[in-house]
Each structure stands twice: as C-alpha cells, then as structure tokens.
Amino acid sequence: MAGELQPSGGKASKNRARIGERIAARLDRSAPGRWVLRTGRAIARWLRSVRWNSWAFVAPALLLIGFFLVYPTVTTVVRSFFGRGTSLFGPNVEYVGLTNWKYVFTNEIMLTSLRNNALWAVLFTACTVGFGLVLAVMLDRVKYEKIAKSIIFIPAAISMVGASIIWKFIYAYKPAHLDQIGLLNGIVVAFGGEPLGWLIQRPWVNNLCLIAVGVWIWTGFCMIIFSAAYKNIPKALLEAARIDGANEWRVFRNVILPLLGPTAGVVATTMVVQVLKVFDIVYVMTNGNYSTEVIANRMYKEMFNYNNYGRASAIAVVLLILIVPFMIVNIRRFVSQEGGR
Amino acid sequence: MRKGFVVLLALTIVGLAAIVGLAEMKYVTVMHGWPGEQAPAFQKIVSAFEDANPDITIIVEVVGRDRPALLATRLAQGNPPDLTPHPWIGTMKQWADAGEIVNLQGIVDTSDINPALVPIGEYRGGLYGLFIFPNVKSLVWYNPKEFAANGYAVPDTWNELQALSQEILDDGGVPWSIGLESGAASGWPGTDWIEDIILRTAGADFYDQWVAHEVPWTDARVKAAFEVFGDMFTDNFVLGGATGALTTNFGDAADPLFLDPPAAYMQKQATFINGFITDHFPNLVAGEDYAIFPLPGISADATPDGSIPLLVSGDVVTVFNNRPEVIKFAQFLTSETAANIWSSELGELSAYVDADPAQFDNPITRQAQEMLLNATVSRFDGSDLMPGEVGAGIFWTGILDYVSGIDLDTVLDNIEAVAQDAY
C-alpha cells in the first residue's frame, strides 16, 4: 500500500512520502479510516489516469459548444412545451404540454411544409448530386474544362438571397399584351405561348421553380467535389476497362460509380442537411405563400411575426430531429475514415 | 523620456475633454421602416430638431420590412430603439400589456395633433402612440387626361363606378390595376379593399365588431365583402387577372395608368403612392396627369348620413425609453414644424390640428387633407388593429389564396381558426 505513494526523488518529495506514510499508518488503525484511505487512493488513481493535458486543450471549445449549442438546444426543447409569448420563461408563459406538438403534426399549413421539405430533400439532393456527378465526369474530357467549371461554380459564391432575387426577376410575369420583363416568360412569349405566373402555380410548378433555384446554386459545389474525387481514380483502371472492351457507359457504371460511391455519400448527406433547413429561397421568392411553405420559414414566422415562441420551438426541434440521422451518418463515416489511418 | 511624458499628458487632456464633451451630448435612437422618398423627408425633420437642440443627436436606423422581427429581438435583448414610428396598433397593444413601452399620457402634450387622430394611439386609458403620420386609403387614382380623352366621368356612386368599369372594358381597355405583391407582406393591399368594402356595405359599427373579432370571419357580411372584391376578377376588370394582381408589386401597380397607351385606368391606393408615381414618372404633374377621387359608397344603409367612409392608416410614434431628450423629440414630432416638413416634402397629409389645406402645393394632398378633416366616419386600417397572426398573417395569405382560386368558405374557415386562437 505504501508502495503506491512512490516518491519521484528529491528531498521535498521524500518528505511528502514520509508524511504520507504517517497519515496512512494513522488512518489504517480504524475501520472508517481504512475506508477513507481506500477511496482516497482510488481518486488518486483516477486523477493519474485522466489525460489532463488533452482535456485542457479541448476545454475551451467544449465550453463554447456547451454554452452556444447544448444550452440553447435544451432550452428550446423545454420551451416547446410552453405556450405563446416572447419571453423564454416567466409569468406570462404557461405550460401547455403537447399542444404545440399536436399543432406541428396536424395543422394543415405545417403538413404542407413537411410535404414540401420532403419534396425538396428528394428532388434537390437527386438533382445536385446527379448533375454534379455527370458534369464532373463529362467536363474532364474537354479542353475548356476549367472555364466551364468556374462558370458553373459561380452561383455557389452568390448569397442565397441574391440568387433568389435574380430568379424572381427571371420568373417575373407581366400581362400578355405588355412587354415581358421576366426571362422565362420572354422565352415563352417569343415561342408564341402565353406568359405564366411561375411562382403562383400551385402546387407543383412553383415548388419545382424554387427547387430549380436551389439546384442552380449548389450543383457547382457538388461538381467540384466529384471532380476532385474523379481525378483521383487511377487512369490505369479506366484504361484496363476500356481495353477489356467496355463501352463508355459500362466504364461509367461499373468502374467510376462504385469508386465514387463514398464521395457521393458525403456529398449527398451534406446536401440533405443543407436542404432540410432551406429558408432564404422560399422567404424571398414567395414567403411560403401558394403552398410553398417550408419548416424553417414557418419557424421564422411563428417566432418573429406571431410572437409564439412555444410553437416556434416545437418546429425547431422537429427540424433538429429530422437532421440528426444524417449528422450521425456523416460522423460515423468520418470516424471510420479517421480510424482507418 | 520627457518628450514621451509631455505627449502622454497632452493626449490625456484631449481624451478627457472629449469624454466630457461626449458626456454632455445626448443621444436618441430612432428606428423607422420608410423606404424611398420618406427617409430623406424624415431626415429633414431630424435636422430641424438637431438645429434647435444642439446638445441632442438623433441616430436614425432605417430597417426594411423585417422590422417586427428586429424589434422583437431588440426588446428581448433589452436595448430597443428609443422611439419608432410604426403602423402596428395590435402589436403596440401587446407591448403596452407587457410593459415595454412608455405611457405618454400626461408626458407628451397632444394639443397640436388633430383630435380625430389622437384616440388611435390610446389603449386602456393610456396613450401609447402619437398618430402623426396619417395616410388616407380610400382613394382611387386615375389619369384625368385619359379620362377626358375617352369621355369618362368621375363616378359618384358605386353603380356609376361599375358602369364606368364596364364602359372601359367595352372600349377595349382594362379598368383596374391591382398590385398585391409585397415580399413578405404580400396581400396587404387586398385587405385594404376588404376593409373599405365592409365599411361601405356593412357599416362602421359592424367594422368595429369585425376587427375586434366579436363577429366571426364566416359571417355572411364578411363573405359578401370578399365576394364584391372577387367579382372584380371574375368580371375581368383587373389587369392581368388574378395572376397579374398576385405578381405585381404594390409600388408598381400605378404605372400601367401612365403608359402610352394606358394599360389600366384606375388604381385604389393610399396617399403614399404619390411618391412612387413621381419616382417612376418624374415629369407628371399632380392634379393634371394624375388625380384622385374617393372610393364611392356602396350601400345606403351602411352610411346613413350619406357621407363616404374613410379608411385611414399611418404611423404612430411609440416611445420605448422614457428619457427627457426622447420625450423632447417625440413632442417635436407633433409640432407644426415637423408636420409642415413632412407634408411639403412628400405631399403627405399633416396631422397638425390647424393644418390649412390651402397651404399645400400638391392639389392631391389638399383634397386628401380636406377629406381627412371633414370625414364624419373614419376608421383605422383593420389589419393593423388585429393581432399579428391575423392582421399580418392569415388575413394577408387568405387574400392571396382567395384571389388565386381557393374556395372562399375554406379561406374564411382558415382565417377564423387562426383568429380564435389569436384573440
């Protein structure tokens, strides 16, 4: 027992060891004393086993995350069980149990929003990942690759609000006998058609128009990532496949796609996380009117326009729950990649 | 060493002088959401006040249509602007209940404000808003030159108005231009139409009950008012039909009247559209190229004295922080000087109690001011009086849904459901 208090050498530590031995001998004489000695030693062991240096480095970041992420999340979840009002808690805010949750899952406008978010998640992800992949593979073979990629990537550099305003003008409508100022209606009229109010045709045309804006912004991003991954595929593999008689389509399907699989997974989960919180595009172009409502816009309205923090919190938690599975997939993939090193 | 010491001493003295000087300067923060021409006019008022009070500096923040959100966050943080002009009477009442704003009763002297306008800002015995930037809404704008060229007469009754619309349609033109789009606030011009129609078909007392939700939105008279508005679309009186109205921004809706040839002949909008017209067409002269007439009454029972009801709106000034310099500025805003700057710069109405219509250069302002002073029946914009979820939420989207073809009963049921929750 005394051996655990090993001195590290030097007079001071030898003194400490002697004092330690005396205290240990004193405590050893009684039953409660022996208990104190045992727990004391267990604590000492644990203190030694913890890597204090590592924790010291991580602590500031953990504190920040705890304060700015964990605390608001917990508060929001709790707030969702309380009623309307703009204070977090207090005398004007009353407990309403599951009323807000019932509203989120049964109210007509909320169901429309959930449906629209599902539409966005499926179509937006499929289009950005699909177009990104195809563009990456095809542009690799042309001389003007760099210029084309730059042009396609430019929208990713514009803010979502800026892009929404641009596209609002593209979708603009003027009555048939007046000059069209919207690009899309200008083309339609030039071909002899009637101009259409693109953003007010519910329920599918306007949603598709909004999704098109999102795809326009984000395809460049996906394309860049796929392009980098594609260029990493050893040319020898592709050559071997071609020599073996595979045509371009088989090469694409059987060689390129499987090798780009992991990248596609990362890009797809990133895009889904992006699209589930889509707000700017819908807010600027239609503000959720004409059946284009999305969850994030609903949360904004409930919180800032209607001063109903309870409902806004419930909607926010729903959004969180929807995104969590994708975050877990991403983190698992990241951990396994890091673990493989 | 000595040189360094001298420099340090000099800097300290200068710094102290600056601090003392700054400490004597008082600051008032004002947040407003006026776009376009109204901002420079307000700035002139601010400059006039600063000239008269050199120890007070006004810091003006101009915010867009997201001002409710910004104010909500600033209030939650505990640092709202000192003063803000705004049209949301409903929200003002919520602020008053929560104790966020200052009761100006007894603190600000309202004797300079037109007495008809003062009650708008009163709530539960206290005064929370100074109604000093009024707007008249029941105005129909038209192009007098085009009317003269086509032999159209300004209608005095609703039947004459409908006949005129039909006449324009038969001549191959389109009578009305309606613009409902307004970004996050789309639909609000439609609510003005409904409010004007309700005043003219069901009367001012029913209007008050409707605004206070003492009658449901599914009431037959409310439904009838919506149908009067909807009939304009089914009768093809509106430029571009439903799509045209839904996609045209309210600020652009007057433009078709002044094209060559005109694409439409009439537009109903408040006095502030004057600024938009002169901005888009700088060469137009008020009274000659564009003029107004009041929207005629519809039903004789609604207005027994035969007068035309007036739908009024505008901005009330609400004070968040009770400090002497803030109150001084609020008092200045009610003064004749401020009112004169506002009306002469913008052609806007003056809330000054002794405002003489003859002083206005703009004949339209003169006419609107006379309407304001002489109206026996006037009501404040309903959607601004209702709670946020209804007046700035489901009512707006209800208009858009109805115009885009959703069944009226469904729309009214939806609004009623939200209203029951909100009141």
Pick from B240, B393, B400: which is nearest to A306 by CB? B393
Chain A: nearest CA to B408, how far in angstroms?
A: 15
pLDDT of residue B4 exceeding 90:
no
- Is B98 in Cβ contact with A202 (below 8 Å)? no
Nearest CA in chain B to A171: B247
Chain B residues with CB under 8 Å of A197 CB are 243, 246-247
User: In Å, how far are B71, B93, B415 from B394, measured between CA atoms?
Assistant: 21, 19, 6
Separation of alpha carbons A267 and A261, rounded Å: 10
Residue A132's contacts (CB-CB under 8 Å, 6 or more residues apart) are A219, A220, A221, A222, A223, A224, A225, A226, A267
Q: What is the DSSP track for A284-303? A: HHTTTTTTT--HHHHHHIII
Do both A129 and A15 map to the same domain?
A: no
- Is A287 in Cβ contact with B184 (below 8 Å)? yes
Do both A275 and A162 map to the same domain?
A: yes
Nearest CA in chain B to A174: B244
Q: Which residues does residue A95 pair with via DSSP β-bridges, in sequence order?
A: A82
Confirm or reject contact between A174 and chain B (CB < 8 A).
yes
Pick from A87, A173, A300: which is nearest to B247 by CB? A173
Chain B residues with CB under 8 Å of A300 CB are 69
Separation of alpha carbons B72 and B32, rounded Å: 14
A263 within 8 A of A289, measured Cβ to Cβ: no
Measured in degrees and rounded to the nearest 5, phi and psi for residue B155 equal -75, 145
Q: Which domains does chain B have, with CATH numbers?
A: 36-70+80-135+313-380 (3.40.190.10), 139-308+386-422 (3.40.190.10)
What would the two tokens of residue A300 be? 């904004």
Q: Quick check: is A278 in a domain? A: yes
Helical ranges in A50-179 per DSSP H: 52-65, 71-79, 99-106, 108-139, 145-157, 160-170
Nearest CA in chain A to B88: A305
Q: What pLDDT is stored for residue B20 in this prediction?
A: 67
- Is B404 in Cβ contact with A202 (below 8 Å)? yes
**End of a domain among A16, A33, A50?**
A50
Chain B: nearest CA to A167, how far in angstroms?
A: 14
Confirm or reject contact between B117 and chain A (CB < 8 A).
no
A-proximal residues of B, 256-295, CB under 8 Å = 256, 263
Separation of alpha carbons A279 and A122, rounded Å: 17
Q: What pLDDT is stored for residue B325 in this prediction?
A: 92
Provide Rg for chain B, Cα atoms.
24
Give the tens place of pLDDT for each residue, A141-186. 899 999 999 999 999 999 999 999 999 999 999 888 888 999 999 9
Do both A46 and A123 map to the same domain?
A: no
- Is A304 in Cβ contact with B263 (below 8 Å)? no
Q: Quick check: is A60 in a domain? A: no
Chain A residues with CB under 8 Å of B263 CB are 175, 177-178
- Residue A40: CB atoms within 10 A of its CB come to 13
Give the tens place of pLDDT for each residue, B320-341. 999 999 999 999 999 888 988 8
Chain B: nearest CA to A239, how far in angstroms?
A: 55
Stretch among A182-191, B22-31, B203-212, B223-232 having the lowest mean pLDDT = B22-31
The parent domain of residue A24 ranges over 2-50
Residue B81's contacts (CB-CB under 8 Å, 6 or more residues apart) are B29, B30, B31, B61, B71, B74, B320
* Sole residue written with tokens 């926010």: A316
Give the tens place of pLDDT for each residue, A9-34. 678 878 888 888 888 888 888 888 88
For B5-15, b/e burial (b = at least 16 CB within 10 A) is eeeeeeeeeee
Do both A183 and A250 map to the same domain?
A: yes
Q: What pLDDT is stored for residue A1 in this prediction?
A: 47
- Is A283 in Cβ contact with B184 (below 8 Å)? yes
Q: Which of A304, A122, A238, A86 lies closest to B67 in space, CA to CA?
A: A304
B267 within 8 A of B243, measured Cβ to Cβ: no
Do both A229 and A123 map to the same domain?
A: yes
Q: What is the DSSP track for A81-116? A: TB-SBSSSSSTT--B-TTHHHHHHHH-HHHHHHHHH
What would the two tokens of residue A111 be? 């169901």
Q: Which of A194, A235, A78, A297 lies closest to B240 in space, CA to CA?
A: A194
Average model confidence (pLDDT) for chain B?
A: 89
Confirm or reject contact between B244 and chain A (CB < 8 A).
yes
Do both A130 and A30 map to the same domain?
A: no
- Is B389 in Cβ contact with A306 (below 8 Å)? yes
Average pLDDT over residues A80-106: 84
- Is A306 in Cβ contact with B388 (below 8 Å)? yes
Confirm or reject contact between B392 and chain A (CB < 8 A).
yes
- Is B392 in Cβ contact with A174 (below 8 Å)? no
Question: B309: which DSSP letter?
Answer: P
pLDDT of residue A8 exceeding 90:
no
Separation of alpha carbons B153 and B162, rounded Å: 12
Q: What pLDDT is stored for residue A26 in this prediction?
A: 84
Do both A199 and A329 map to the same domain?
A: yes
Among B178, B243, B414, B421, the residue to mutate for chain A (most A Cβ within 10 A): B243
Measured in degrees and rounded to the nearest 5, phi and psi for residue A50 equal -70, 140
Nearest CA in chain B to A108: B414
Pick from A108, A173, A290: which is nearest to B404 by CB? A290
Chain A residues with CB under 8 Å of B239 CB are 175
What would the two tokens of residue B31 be? 């947040």
Do both A16 and A143 map to the same domain?
A: no
Q: Which of B65, B381, B380 lies closest to A304 in space, CA to CA?
A: B65
- If DSSP codes are grouped into helix, strand and coil, which group holds residue A196? coil
Separation of alpha carbons B399 and B402, rounded Å: 5
Confirm or reject contact between B243 and chain A (CB < 8 A).
yes
B89 within 8 A of B101, measured Cβ to Cβ: no
Chain A residues with CB under 8 Å of B256 CB are 178
pLDDT of residue A87 exceeding 80:
no
Q: Domains in chain A: how many in total? A: 2
- Is B392 in Cβ contact with A307 (below 8 Å)? no
* Sole residue written with tokens 């599918």: A204
Do both A33 and A139 map to the same domain?
A: no
Average pLDDT over residues B224-230: 95
Q: What is the DSSP track for A29-44? A: TSHHHHHHHHHHHHHH
Pick from B393, B397, B404: which is nearest to A200 by CB? B404
What would the two tokens of residue B96 be? 């008053």
Separation of alpha carbons B25 and B99, rounded Å: 28
Chain B: nearest CA to A210, how far in angstroms?
A: 15
Q: What pLDDT is stored for residue B276 in this prediction?
A: 87
**How far is Cα of residue A47 from the mean position of the Cα atoms in its chain?**
37
CATH number of the domain that A270 lies in? 1.10.3720.10
Separation of alpha carbons A260 and A10, rounded Å: 61
Do both A133 and A33 map to the same domain?
A: no
Q: What pLDDT is stored for residue A6 in this prediction?
A: 53
A-proximal residues of B, 187-216, CB under 8 Å = 187
Q: What pLDDT is stored for residue A319 in this prediction?
A: 93
**End of a domain among A30, A50, A70?**
A50
Q: Quick check: is A28 in a domain? A: yes
Separation of alpha carbons A215 and A128, rounded Å: 6
Phi-psi region of A36 (alpha: psi -120 to 50; beta: other; left: phi over 0): alpha
Chain B: nearest CA to A333, how far in angstroms?
A: 38
Classify the C-alpha dihedral B2-B6-B9-B11 as positive or negative: negative
Confirm or reject contact between B236 and chain A (CB < 8 A).
no
Q: What pLDDT is stored for residue A248 in this prediction?
A: 86
Output the furthest CA–CA distance in chain A (Å, rounded): 105
What's this model's pTM, rounded to 2 decimal places?
0.82
* Helix (H) or strand (E) segment spanning residue B229: helix B220-234
Do both A244 and A335 map to the same domain?
A: yes
Separation of alpha carbons A251 and A122, rounded Å: 27
Q: Quick check: is A38 in a domain? A: yes
Chain A: nearest CA to B223, how far in angstroms?
A: 21
pLDDT of residue B398 exceeding 90:
yes
- Residue A291: CB atoms within 10 A of its CB come to 21
- What is the three-state SS of B351-393? CECCCCHHHCCCHHHHHHHHHHHHCCCEEECHHHHCCHHHHHH
pLDDT of residue A4 exceeding 60:
no
Cα dihedral angle (A192, A194, A195, A197), rounded to 10 degrees? -150
Q: Quick check: is A42 in a domain? A: yes
Do both A306 and A189 map to the same domain?
A: yes
**End of a domain among A15, A33, A50?**
A50
pLDDT of residue B79 exceeding 50:
yes
Q: Quick check: is A297 in a domain? A: yes
pLDDT of residue B260 exceeding 60:
yes
Q: What pLDDT is stored for residue A9 in this prediction?
A: 62
Residue B49's contacts (CB-CB under 8 Å, 6 or more residues apart) are B56, B58, B329, B332, B338
Q: Quick check: is A76 in a domain? A: no
Question: A68: which DSSP letter?
Answer: I
- Is B400 in Cβ contact with A175 (below 8 Å)? no
- pLDDT band at A341, cuts 50/70/90? low
Average pLDDT over residues B229-239: 94
Q: What pLDDT is stored for residue B64 in this prediction?
A: 75
B-proximal residues of A, 89-118, CB under 8 Å = 92, 108
Give the tens place of pLDDT for each residue, A32-71. 888 888 888 898 888 888 788 888 899 999 999 999 999 9
Chain A residues with CB under 8 Å of B76 CB are 86-87
* Helix (H) or strand (E) segment spanning residue B112: none
- Is B69 in Cβ contact with A289 (below 8 Å)? no
Q: At what angle do helices B336-346 and B324-333 cross, to 10 degrees?
A: 50
Separation of alpha carbons B248 and B224, rounded Å: 25
Q: Quick check: is A72 in a domain? A: no
CA-angle at B183, arms to A173 and A114, nearest 5°: 95
Q: Which of A303, A280, A271, A282 lies closest to A116 in space, CA to CA?
A: A282
Residue A149's contacts (CB-CB under 8 Å, 6 or more residues apart) are A139, A220, A223, A224, A227
Q: Which residues does residue B113 pair with via DSSP β-bridges, in sequence order?
A: B352
Q: What pLDDT is stored for residue B295 in this prediction?
A: 94
Residue B65's contacts (CB-CB under 8 Å, 6 or more residues apart) are B33, B182, B183, B184, B185
